[in-house]
Chain A
Amino acid sequence: MKLDRRCFLALSIGGAAGTALTPLPWKLTDDLSIWSQNWPWTPVPDKGAITYTHSVCDLCPGGCGITVKKAGDRVIRVEGIEDYPVNQGGVCILGIAGPQLLYSPTRVQKPLKRIGNRGEGRWEPISWQDALAMVIDKLKTLRAADKSHSVAGVFGRDRGTVAQLFQRLLTVYGSPNFFSTPSYLDNYEMTLYLMHGMRASVGVDAKNADFILSFGSGMIQGWGSSVYMFKANSLLKSTGRVVQVEPRLSVSAAKADEWVAVKPGTEGALALGLAHVIINENLHNSDFVVNYSTGFETFKQLVLGKYAPETVAGITDVPAEKIVALARAFARARKPLAICGRGQGLTPGHLSDYIAVHALNALVGNINRQGGVIAIPEADDIDWPEATMDAIAVAGMQKGRIDGAGSSRYPHSRSLLNQLPEVLNTGKGDSIETLFVADVNPLYTMPDAEATRAALAQIPFIVSFASFMDETAQMADLILPNHMYLERLEDVPSPAAYPANIIGLSRPAIGPLFDTRHTGDVIIALAHALGGNIAAAFPWQDYPTCLRETLGDKWNELNRKGYWQGPEVAAPLGFGTFDTASSKFEFSNPDLNAALESQPALPQGDATTYPHLLLPYDTMRIASGPIGSPPFLVKSVDETVLQGNDVLVEVNPKTAAALQLADGKPAKLKTPKGEAKVRVHITEGVAPDVVALPRGLGHTAYDDFLAGKGVNYNALVGMTEDPVSGLDATWGIRAKLSKA
């Protein structure tokens, strides 16, 4: 058959027409659409029985009760426990994003040994056995060389069994150098020590107060136990009043019933100005002042002499009438409560501010009672027998702390991590030969990141217990990864500023995903391997045994309910006990007076070179602590805070106009400590010449969802010590913003 063009055409057309009449094209069309509904690259979550595990969140000092929802063996959700006293069903943004941390690609999956230069990111997997042997070898060598005190540990907290186990290890090993992360709680602790005469942590009964006067504390930005404070804030919408004293219109200020815009750094003066009005107008609680306090006259003379409303108005930029009105409103409230610690309280701040603010609570007699500030005596939950110390241990312990805490310079301080970089960098004190790091990321969270980096470089051997490859872990020589909180059993000490002593139990919702080990177990194993007195001080086979035995009769309740709550501390007008020499609350004593008269820390830098003032701010949507924000949090950040990889700094329209900067445009931010590229967000929420920067951005570690976005405030700010406490009193730094 001859196939000519015409025939070919006819065949083709006929064939096409014929095919169209068969079901084939219809079937294909249908199949294609079904395929598009089931694209193999679009994941289909595995089904599985839904189960819940009750636990306690350990991502921040909030200590919320959580229930972890699983589908089969997958953790899919974190929810709050309805009847958990701290959070009553609520859970914060970071807590909800917990599963993203569990499954994060930045998890350290097995013990790692550094092979490249520090920070280069080259690691070699190492077995647990070899890793522990390396540490033990190091510890034995140092101890043999009488350098036991050169071993130090930095932990997220000083309470709880794991931190206490490590502190115990250091003690019997022969080193006093245990550090915890400093915060506003340290200042509160010292304030209570100076005014109540006892080592106690602060409890704020915000839910039962009817007037909260907050000196910059981010009640709804993560100060205290965030969910507890959120609930209290909501309650106060119907039962009371919140006044926020703060230079910037934070969320807490915006949601407060009143925002008192104060000149940055003068909050303490305002508190004393209020005290002046209260005393001057005889509005104070005379029962408390007369029967339960001493030193009132001295205090009275101080505030009446130096803090008249007009004077304070000049210092703080708050009009005198407003000061008088605020003082009256505060004093006349039924349960007035004053709190301080800026933002989330990540920088401790000036001790005198705390004393001044706490004096306000004392003036209105709202101490150790419902709706007031409660001093919760240091818990005696951990009651291990005194360890037998050998000669090396005793000698090491007598050397004194490297940071000077407890020395005659800072007699009341217990840990001054912020002093460490300077001590190491100047070589004035002892050196640190081996550093253990757990639940902290000092390279990111400490002020003056450069100094911290230099200090870490001085330390020959750094062991990290990090669960995530954070900035500090990247600088380590050895990483002994801990289980992350959803995988581990651990006690969670009383939440920050919570008005009762409550221990929570963090329980594994899922078995460890990777080859990680509980830090508690690692500490016990290290102790056992070191032998002698050290091993003897750790009579537990493993961490769970230790935890059970330590908690003793509380264990059953903890295991059943998930928490154990101590007896109510706030007795009605019993005012608890004051352990001062006078057995009374002290408005004045030599230490207090020295603190009150100490000059507030001034921001670093001179005003001519640096005409602006850089202030940090905290937001719930960005995790600013050791844990980096998981992707969901970064996703939740407003377009007025982050654009692309650039952070936006808040600038007043007047400042922006003077600098000819338009909204969203790039700018250069320079401080005495560093320089950064930013963009500007023009807002009336900050005063002219103030530049506000969120904390928690500018990570170099973590995943692509976080790393490289924005600027780390801590890289731009230095440390200015409080003359009395030695803690970091910095609240901002002078800066120069200019057109990029």
Chain B
Amino acid sequence: MKQAQNHTKNYLYAMAIDLDKCTGCGACMVACMSENNVPFRRDETDQLLSMKWLRVYKLTNGKAYPDHDVCYLPRPCMQCAGQHEGHSPCVSVCPATATDYDQNTGIVSQIYTRCFGCRYCMAACPYHVRLFNWWDPVWPEGMEKMLNPKVSVRMRGVVEKCSFCFHRFQQAKDRAYAKGKRDIDEQDYQTSCTQACPAGAITFGDLNNPSHAVTQLVKPDHKHHGRPQAPHAFRLLERLGTNAKVYYLSSREWVRKMGDNYLKNEKQAGSH
């Protein structure tokens, strides 16, 4: 579809997570739940049923005590671009156009009221970022007061996922418009997890803007779907061609190697 206001500049929002700095404290998870009205249940210990837009994985190097090492890896939605911008694994399969790739921001959206819960997108996503509302969301009496009015509460039977706090983008756009500015400032649109991370491990911004910190951190190769050129940067499952917009940074080789699948005798791709 042709953009009506073709004078507006295209953004390409992306996130870089420094796994050296990430402490696995979980503040991002809770900041996300708090911002996005994510419901909670009495028993959330089954991770395959737990609604977490952002989940923190625990990676281990598999070595014995005391050479053992662990690393935490926060996993929001990767906002995949796919092989050609917009051919995300999930967007391409949704039968009802309930999820879409926003060409203006590079963010994969989800329309909860259109989704009818076929869960094909969940089967398509290799990162398990897509979550189904198996239950009606219920808040303990009185606690529904903490719901964020900018984000709608999802009903049972639909799929939801991390949106890079898209409502914040819209608010930032409104603010910029009100100020008569054409562009959104880097600080004006930050996701909830980025803002909350007490370790400052998450960097969020526009890859189309060379001055943004995220661009400088990952040095995307725009000719190759934004493949990172920074020495310690990598994306999850790069080889599948999902072309994620979440980048990870780690100084530890074993961690970088955990980002993708490699055959036994294969040298790690992308290590410079």
Contacts and interface: CB of A to CB of B under 8 A. Distances in A.
B180 interface: no
A400 interface: no
B143 A100 contact: yes
A501 B188 CA distance: 33
A100 to B, nearest CB: 6
Interface in B95-109: none
Interface string A94-116: 00110110111100000000000
Contact of A37 (B46, B64, B67, B113): B113
A251 B70 CA distance: 8
Given A37-B113, A633-B30, A259 B66 contact: yes
A414 to B, nearest CB: 32
Contact of B153 (A43, A233, A621): A43
B42 A632 contact: no
Given A42-B136, A233-B23, A687-B65, A87 B146 contact: no
A704 B43 CA distance: 9
Contacts of B152: 44
Contacts of B34: 76-78, 96-97, 99, 632
Interface in A9-64: 36-37, 39, 41-48
A234 interface: yes
A597 interface: no
B6 interface: no
A39 B155 contact: yes
Nearest to B154: A42
B148 interface: yes
A103 B142 contact: yes
A740 interface: no
Contacts of A220: 23, 25, 199
B144 A43 contact: yes
Contact of B25 (A42, A92, A634, A635): A92
B196 A632 contact: no
B201 interface: yes
Interface string A225-236: 011001101100
A632 B23 contact: no
Interface string B35-57: 10100101111110010100010
Given A249-B69, A637-B45, A684 B148 contact: no
A71 B58 contact: no
Interface residues of B, number: 66
Interface in A607-650: 620-621, 631-640, 642-645
Contact of B30 (A89, A97, A254): A97
B142 A74 contact: no
A635 B52 contact: yes
B30 to A, nearest CB: 5
B217 to A, nearest CB: 12
Given A79-B196, A259-B66, A642-B45, A251 B23 contact: yes
B251 to A, nearest CB: 8
Contact of A254 (B40, B44, B62, B71): B71
Contact of A43 (B47, B62, B139): B139
A251 B196 CA distance: 19
A652 interface: yes
A688 interface: yes
B198 interface: yes
Contacts of A103: 140, 142-143, 145-146
Contact of B197 (A43, A77, A90, A635): A90
A158 interface: no
Nearest to A250: B70
A52 to B, nearest CB: 13
Which of B66, B147, B201 has most A Cβ within 10 Å?
B66
B198 A639 contact: no
Given A75-B145, A639-B45, A705 B139 contact: no
29 contacts: A39-B156, A43-B137, A45-B144, A45-B147, A46-B149, A47-B149, A76-B148, A79-B196, A90-B200, A91-B196, A96-B31, A96-B34, A97-B30, A103-B142, A104-B143, A105-B141, A220-B23, A220-B25, A231-B200, A234-B200, A237-B18, A249-B69, A255-B20, A255-B22, A255-B23, A635-B29, A636-B56, A639-B46, A705-B40
Given A76-B148, A93-B25, 18 more contacts: A39-B155, A74-B145, A78-B34, A80-B198, A90-B200, A97-B34, A100-B146, A103-B142, A104-B143, A105-B141, A220-B23, A249-B68, A251-B24, A620-B25, A620-B27, A621-B25, A642-B45, A684-B67
